[in-house]
Structure 1
Amino acid sequence: MIDNILAVLLDIVVAFIPDGVWKILAFVIGATAIAAGVVMINESLWTGGALITVGVFLLTGSVISWYR
């Protein structure tokens, strides 16, 4: 019951946020993930590489969506 109420509330909140805000948020999170990956790559190659990969996908996805 509580899960259904929270799901409906989350759907309502997400519906009110414009797509442009999601694109900017994805861009900022992608840039942050890349920066964290570059810093972390000296400590752990796998973790740093994964962060860089996720960041690149977020950055390119948001940039490509701006052009469409």
Structure 2
Amino acid sequence: MALYMSFAEIQIHKDGMLQGQALYDSTHGGANMGKFIDAENKIKELVGSLLTVKTAAIFNRFFG
């Protein structure tokens, strides 16, 4: 038996408005081996990508 992650969705909200979203979905295709990953590293990657995009957006808003 092996542990796997087939789906993760992370959203950032501010004042009730969606500010960012990261999605990992390996549910398509029953024999998809992509779901056998290190879930902790994938979650870190998703959060990192969200924060990088959000940081870039804030920087561009203030410094153009």
Give the TM-score category using the shorter length.
0.3 to 0.5
Structure number having the greater helix percentage:
1
* TM-score with structure 1 setting the length: 0.40
